[in-house]
């Protein structure tokens, strides 16, 4: 989409600064390359672009780098920066460039792919690079940088090409900005869902059981149950039917669907049952199709929306597993909508509305909406692809949702809309997804009888509005840093008796609140209240009720909020009503 954008003065300045920063980061990559070249004269160079917050450069070196190499390279870079060497641009013919870069096979490969006859080289000191530029005037312009990590990276992102060594660095316009960035990273690490999951006793993944398989502990399970209950209610309200389908089914089903053919590498091996091959499901769609197909469907029944919290198992390569965000067994908040082509736009809009409603209710604010279009390998007619993609666009436009187009990233069976959440470190994880499917209705002959009395293929939409329970919990945890709003908190109230003689009263309060559906516990240990309060704080429990002689005498509770806010004295009735409201309204605050 091309549009003319008029920038304000402020935006222009900002854009200008971003550009400068990017140039500086790119120049830092060249300086790093020079430093590496001085340490490894035989180094072969790949590419070295500026990226978010910094830069990287890919090298082929005679030995593996270790973290100990980074300070050495940094020191060399600092020397180069201190000597303030100019960056010289030089335009040459491709032939000349070939001679100059004769010892650099990767550069020659890049050179071959440049259509122009003239190319530009950049030189600083002893280092020459094929590069479009621009660069700083000289190396002294690099203000603040730090090399942060080493990683393997396939040449040109292709796993069949050699693996190079990539060094990542960060660079900023000032030492202060760099320090702030590094501090931010440290802060983000504290919100890591893997760390919080252990500290708050929400879940575990155990080597004994196998990687990528999640154990939901009682407290994590509470959060999940609350989410699931809310999810079910909201779906029923919006005209979905909740269904359940088996976890294994005959392999033939997945042969018919095409998964066996197209999705093999993610499937677990079939198992044999009485001479028949069965497979554990990687997806829920077939179950829903089978329910749909148990009888003839009339156009009058459509749309049919089958929803299921369906647990699926997919083989993921060991290197890609990541906490709860990328696992081998997970529960999708799945649904499949069977409708006519005419109903498609309304249905997609309905799903978008639901997805954004949930996203908003859970408090997410930073997410990205992506429209993925037709990939190179695709099923179905070109024309239906275009129509469907247009329908997705229309639905997005109708709800005034800003989105980016991700060209060619659609699924082989249809275009899709994805919503991506960011984790604490800014990595994007796909949550909700809405996918139009041209493939399965054909393969399974999923039809309805139209008004014209004829059989028509249904339009099918696969969709999740949270993604999976596992990944969604990960996102929630990082979003809230473990400090869940009251309605989601595993324990909502901790009652803290001052001394043993207040235990009876504490248990009385407990049963009063519990009968109201509040998740409440009494910390009845013979410990000081300082300790109990500290532990309740660390557990991020929203409300602490301290009860001692005064409270027993007056039939009140002393309410302390986890925010550390001053304790207030309230009657039980008033506290109970307050927390009831906070829970029912899914309030993000703690006020009573």
Partner RNA sequence: GCCAGCGUAGCUCAGUGGUAGAGCAGCGGUUUCGUAAACCGCUGGUCGUCGGUUCGACUCCGACCGCUGGCUCCA
The residues annotated with a catalytic role in the active site are: 285, 314, 332, 334, 336, 416, 462
Rule CB under 7 A: is residue 283 a binding residue for RNA? yes
Listed residue (369, 317, 390, 370) closest to 159, CA to CA: 317
Rule CB under 7 A: is residue 376 a binding residue for RNA? no
Residues 513, 503: Cα–Cα separation, whole Å = 15
Stretch that binds RNA, among 154-162, 172-180, 219-227, 341-349 (CB under 7 A): 154-162
Residues 513, 510: Cα–Cα separation, whole Å = 5
Stretch that binds RNA, among 40-48, 72-80, 314-322, 392-400 (CB under 7 A): 314-322
Rule CB under 7 A: is residue 149 a binding residue for RNA? yes
Please, which of residues 387-446 interact with RNA by CB under 7 A? 411-413, 425, 427, 430, 435
Please, which of residues 246-265 interact with RNA by CB under 7 A? 259, 263
Min CB(400)–RNA separation in Å: 26
- Cβ nearer to RNA, comparing 343 with 435: 435
Q: Which of residues 134, 140, 141, 282 is near RNA by CB under 7 A?
A: 282
CB atoms under 10 Å from CB of 6, counted, come to 6
- Cα 306 to Cα 244, 285, 445, 457: the distances in Å are 9, 9, 18, 17
Across the beta sheet with 276-280, the strand order is: 248-250, 276-280, 271-273
- Positive or negative, the CA dihedral 238, 241, 244, 248 is negative
Rule CB under 7 A: is residue 320 a binding residue for RNA? yes
Alpha-helical segments (H) within 362-502: 382-398, 440-443, 469-480
- Name the one residue in this structure whose structure tokens are 């027993």: 552
Stretch that binds RNA, among 74-82, 300-308, 504-512, 556-564 (CB under 7 A): 556-564
State the chain's maximal CA–CA distance in angstroms.
Answer: 94
Phi, psi of 336 (to 5 degrees): -125, 130
Binding mask 486-515 for RNA (x = CB under 7 A): ------------xxxx--------------
Min CB(118)–RNA separation in Å: 29
Min CB(50)–RNA separation in Å: 14
Min CB(520)–RNA separation in Å: 16
Please, which of residues 191-250 interact with RNA by CB under 7 A? 194, 198, 205, 207, 210-212
Helix-helix angle 382-398:344-361, to 10 degrees: 50
- Cβ nearer to RNA, comparing 5 with 553: 553
- Cβ nearer to RNA, comparing 12 with 534: 534
- Cβ nearer to RNA, comparing 315 with 403: 315
Min CB(451)–RNA separation in Å: 32
What does the block give as tokens for 497?
């008796």
Cα 551-555-559 angle, rounded to 5 deg = 55
Task: Please give the size of the binding site for RNA, defined by CB under 7 A.
Answer: 72
- Cβ nearer to RNA, comparing 342 with 565: 565
- Name the one residue in this structure whose structure tokens are 């004269």: 41
**Contact partners, residue 310, CB within 8 Å, separation at least 6:** 245, 281, 284, 287, 331, 332, 334
Rule CB under 7 A: is residue 537 a binding residue for RNA? yes
- Cβ nearer to RNA, comparing 123 with 334: 334
- Cβ nearer to RNA, comparing 226 with 392: 392
- Cβ nearer to RNA, comparing 181 with 194: 194
Stretch that binds RNA, among 75-83, 164-172, 176-184, 289-297 (CB under 7 A): 164-172
Q: Is 487 in contact with 519 (CB distance < 8 Å)?
A: no
Q: Is 529 in contact with 547 (CB distance < 8 Å)?
A: no
Residue 417, strand partner residues: 371, 434
* HSE (side-chain half, CA atoms, 13 Å) at 99: 4
Rule CB under 7 A: is residue 379 a binding residue for RNA? no
Q: Which of residues 67, 115, 275, 453 is near RNA by CB under 7 A?
A: 67
Rule CB under 7 A: is residue 42 a binding residue for RNA? no
Rule CB under 7 A: is residue 534 a binding residue for RNA? yes
Q: Which of residues 10, 41, 115, 157 is near RNA by CB under 7 A?
A: 157
Listed residue (145, 135, 177, 173) closest to 49, CA to CA: 135
Q: Which of residues 323, 431, 441, 485 is near RNA by CB under 7 A?
A: 323
Min CB(509)–RNA separation in Å: 13
- Cβ nearer to RNA, comparing 122 with 145: 145
Residues 406, 101: Cα–Cα separation, whole Å = 35
Min CB(336)–RNA separation in Å: 12
Stretch that binds RNA, among 88-96, 485-493, 544-552, 578-586 (CB under 7 A): 544-552
Q: Is 340 in contact with 396 (CB distance < 8 Å)?
A: no
Rule CB under 7 A: is residue 317 a binding residue for RNA? yes
**Secondary structure percentages of the chain, helix, strand, coil, to 5:** 40, 25, 35
Q: Which of residues 37, 464, 558, 570 is near RNA by CB under 7 A?
A: 558
Residues 354, 408: Cα–Cα separation, whole Å = 26
Listed residue (585, 113, 72) closest to 363, CA to CA: 585
Min CB(288)–RNA separation in Å: 14
Helix (H, G, I), strand (E, B) or coil at 344: helix
- Cβ nearer to RNA, comparing 80 with 546: 546
Stretch that binds RNA, among 145-153, 233-241, 363-371, 474-482 (CB under 7 A): 145-153
Rule CB under 7 A: is residue 64 a binding residue for RNA? yes
Alpha-helical segments (H) within 126-250: 175-190, 193-199, 218-237
């Amino acid at each position: 989409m091309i549009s003319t954008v008029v920038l304000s003065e402020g935006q222009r300045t900002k854009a200008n600064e971003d550009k400068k920063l990017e140039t500086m980061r790119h120049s830092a990559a060249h300086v790093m390359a020079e430093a590496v070249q001085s340490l490894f004269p035989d180094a072969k160079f790949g590419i070295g672009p500026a990226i978010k917050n910094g830069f990287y450069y890919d090298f082929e070196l005679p030995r593996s780098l270790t973290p100990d190499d980074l300070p050495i390279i940094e020191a060399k870079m600092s020397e180069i920066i201190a000597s303030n060497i100019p960056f010289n641009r030089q335009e040459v013919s491709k032939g000349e460039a070939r001679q100059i870069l004769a010892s650099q096979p990767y550069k020659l490969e890049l050179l071959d792919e440049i259509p122009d006859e003239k190319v530009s080289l950049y030189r600083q000191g002893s280092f020459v690079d094929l590069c479009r530029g621009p660069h700083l005037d000289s190396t002294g312009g690099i203000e603040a940088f730090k090399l942060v990590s080493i990683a393997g990276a396939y040449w040109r992102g292709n796993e069949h090409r050699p693996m190079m060594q990539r060094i990542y660095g960060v660079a900023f316009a000032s030492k202060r900005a760099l320090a702030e960035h590094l501090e931010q990273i440290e802060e983000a690490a504290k919100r890591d869902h893997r760390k919080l999951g252990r500290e708050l006793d929400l879940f575990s993944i155990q080597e004994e059981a196998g990687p990528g398989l999640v154990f939901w502990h009682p407290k994590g399970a509470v959060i999940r149950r609350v989410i699931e209950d809310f999810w079910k209610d909201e779906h029923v309200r919006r005209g979905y039917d909740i269904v359940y389908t088996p976890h294994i089914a005959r392999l033939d089903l997945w042969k018919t669907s095409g998964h066996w053919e197209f999705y093999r590498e993610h499937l677990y091996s079939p198992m044999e049952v009485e001479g028949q091959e069965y497979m554990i499901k990687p997806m829920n769609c077939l179950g829903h199709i089978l329910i749909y197909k148990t009888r003839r469907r009339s156009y009058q029944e459509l749309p049919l929306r089958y929803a299921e919290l369906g647990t699926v198992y997919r083989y993921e390569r060991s290197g890609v597993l990541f906490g709860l965000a990328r696992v081998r067994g997970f529960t999708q908040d799945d649904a499949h909508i069977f409708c006519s082509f005419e109903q498609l736009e309304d249905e997609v809009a309905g799903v978008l509305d639901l997805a954004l409603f949930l996203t908003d209710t859970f408090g997410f604010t930073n997410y990205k909406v992506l429209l993925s279009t037709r990939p190179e390998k695709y099923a179905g007619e070109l024309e239906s692809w275009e129509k469907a993609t247009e329908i997705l666009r229309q639905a997005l436009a109708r709800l005034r949702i800003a989105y980016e187009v991700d060209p060619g990233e659609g699924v082989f069976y249809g275009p899709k809309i994805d919503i991506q959440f960011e984790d604490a470190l800014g990595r994007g994880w796909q949550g909700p997804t809405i996918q139009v499917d041209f493939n399965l209705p054909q393969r399974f002959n999923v039809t309805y009888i139209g008004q014209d009395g004829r059989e028509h293929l249904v339009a099918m939409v696969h969709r999740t509005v949270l993604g999976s329970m596992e990944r969604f919990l990960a996102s929630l945890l990082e979003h809230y840093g473990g400090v869940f709003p009251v309605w989601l908190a595993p324990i909502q109230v901790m009652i803290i008796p001052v001394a043993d003689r207040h235990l009876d009263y504490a248990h009385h309060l407990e049963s009063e609140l519990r009968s109201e559906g509040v998740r409440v516990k009494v910390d009845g240990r013979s410990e000081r209240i300082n300790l109990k309060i500290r532990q309740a704080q660390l557990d991020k429990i929203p409300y602490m009720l301290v009860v001692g002689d005064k409270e027993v005498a007056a039939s009140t509770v002393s309410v302390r909020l986890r925010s550390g806010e001053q304790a207030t004295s309230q009657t039980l009735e008033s506290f109970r009503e307050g927390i009831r409201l906070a829970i029912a309204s899914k309030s993000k605050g703690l006020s009573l």
